[in-house]
Amino acid sequence: MFPQEFERSVNAELGEAEAGRLLAALDGRPVTSIRYNPFKLSAMPTAEGGGLPCGNPVPWNRYGAYLAARPVFTLDPAMHAGLYYVQEASSQFVEHLLRESLTDRDGELPGNIRLLDLCAAPGGKTTLYSTLAGPEGLVVANEVVKQRASVLADNVRRWGVGNVAVTCNEPRDFAAYKHWFDVLAVDAPCSGEGMFRRLPESRSEWSPAGVEMCASRGRGILADAWDALKPGGILIYSTCTFNRRENEETVAWLAENYAVEPVAVDVPEEWGVVCGDAAGIRTFRFWPHLARGEGFFAAVMRKADGRVKRETPRARKEPLVEMNRPESKPLAEWVNTPEAMKFARVGDNCYGYYRPVYRDVVALAGGLNVIYSGVCMGRIFNGKLRPDHALALFHDLAPGCGTASKTEITRDETLDYLRKKEFADPSRLAEGLNLLTHGGVPVGWTKRVGHRSNTMLPNSFRIVNL
């Protein structure tokens, strides 16, 4: 059953016959899709290769694929190793928007891009943006709720590109970084009508008052963060809902109150995406009975150009302490390209950063609550590194993995490790630190001491109740 007010709304929007097809689709079987990590895989994993039962590719994302069946993802070591992310197909469309808006003649994004993903948890779009930005770019992934920010940080660690700073701030806090970002992505908190198929329980939580509250909240977020986007920069606004109040009317409100320009985006008709217009700004709707995915809305626009200077607020604190070459020597042997990185201490932990973005992270950490950034390397004891779990999942981990031994383990052993169980046969491990791999892919660290092994998996990565 659907809320009566919702049915009336879609009938008014689509007409009774078309609305009937939409409601029938929302009562159907959800579509399952993933997006693989090109920093760890050269191609989509397949069932023939021991991977997932992948079907057709997601047409608007180079790394996306539909699954022929939905596996128990929690029991797939490849997911825990960051080889792919389970992401709804429609939401992967933001890659197409970004590439159409920013790529050069060679189809590449500009180097040193700064992208603010303002409502980022749990991390699907963040990891997508991280892939697109590459080692020379920086993605700032913000989540205002502390617990959700921790989940976001874990997914960033798992993805392992090393170019994300996770923050836990109010949107208004970013206004001090005036004209700082090349891209502002706002996947606004919404009434969730587009998830009625995947999450049927959300139907009972829907109300017209909730729609109004979400529309107001989305506009407040846009207003608070607007100054952080540079003139000429790109804004991607999205929701997972259908109603015009949160979607087209919010885009029109933005166009009426701020200086924005349309961006031309080509969308092939066979994708089933319904293109529209709100105050001259192009919009994109995913209706589940027309496009293969859940409900989704997006709009893209450019902030009107102007000659302005980026402003970085004066640092209130200096949490990053840069390490010199002798200090960072115990770290350099653990990464494949140490010359491309700078190393710093944050409290007792050591972190690695790609050189092009290090100063940007320092500037952010001086004024915002940065809870994770770059790649956490671990802690140095007596001149040796005790590696962090994030380092095992870093795509640029050195083939020799520092001073650790490599040990290949079975699928069952991997799942036991992810449940934080002791290694069944410690004699298979080398004495001391071991990098455990499954299918040649790192899954984490363990340490053998005599006849025992100590699992070094953080509790937040542990499989529970399966």
Answer with the residue of higher pLDDT: 428 or 272. 272
Any idea what the CATH number is for the domain that residue 461 is in?
Answer: 3.10.450.720
Q: Are residues 154 and 200 located together in one domain of the fold?
A: yes
Tokens of 141: 């992934």
How many domains would you assign to the chain? 3
Q: Are residues 219 and 354 located together in one domain of the fold?
A: no
- What integer pLDDT is reported at residue 385 of this predicted model? 95
Task: Name which of 338, 432, 350 is nearest 390 in CA terms.
Answer: 350
CA 8/CA 18 separation, integer angstroms: 13
Q: Are residues 162 and 216 located together in one domain of the fold?
A: yes
Tokens of 312: 């970085």
- What integer pLDDT is reported at residue 51 of this predicted model? 65
Number of Cα atoms under 13 Å in the Cβ half of residue 127: 31
Alpha helices in 160-298 (DSSP H): 208-225, 248-257
Q: Is the pTM value of this prediction over 0.85? A: yes
Interval 434-445: pLDDT, tens:
999 999 999 999
Task: Name which of 317, 408, 304 is nearest 367 in CA terms.
Answer: 317
Interval 198-246: pLDDT, tens:
999 999 999 999 999 999 999 999 999 999 999 999 999 999 999 999 9
Q: Which residues form the domain of 137?
A: 90-303
Q: Are residues 348 and 417 located together in one domain of the fold?
A: no
Interval 302-335: pLDDT, tens:
999 766 667 788 777 778 999 999 999 999 999 9
Tokens of 389: 């779990």
In a domain, 66, yes or no: no
- Tell me: pLDDT of 187 over 90: yes
Q: Are residues 299 and 323 located together in one domain of the fold?
A: no
Interval 272-302: pLDDT, tens:
999 999 999 999 999 999 999 999 999 999 9
Lowest mean pLDDT among 262-271, 305-314, 329-338, 378-387: 305-314
Domain boundary among 385, 418, 445: 385
In a domain, 419, yes or no: yes
Any idea what the CATH number is for the domain that residue 212 is in?
Answer: 3.40.50.150
Do 238 and 117 contact (CB within 8 A), yes or no? no
- H or E segment at 4? helix 4-14
> What contacts 166, CB < 8 A, 6 or more positions away?
120, 141, 142, 143, 149, 152, 153, 156, 370, 371, 372, 373
- H or E segment at 391? helix 389-392
Mean pLDDT along residues 340-357: 96
Beta-ladder partners of 67 = 54
CA 190/CA 101 separation, integer angstroms: 25
Residues composing the chain: 466
Q: Are residues 327 and 381 located together in one domain of the fold?
A: yes
Which residues are designated catalytic?
A: 240
Q: Provide long-range contacts, Cβ within 8 A and 24+ apart, for 252-259.
A: 252/278, 252/279, 252/281, 253/219, 254/219, 254/222, 254/281, 254/301, 255/279, 255/280, 255/281, 255/301, 257/223, 258/226, 258/303, 259/303, 259/304
The residue behind tokens 């859940």 is: 294
> What contacts 21, CB < 8 A, 6 or more positions away?
289
Q: Are residues 234 and 367 located together in one domain of the fold?
A: no
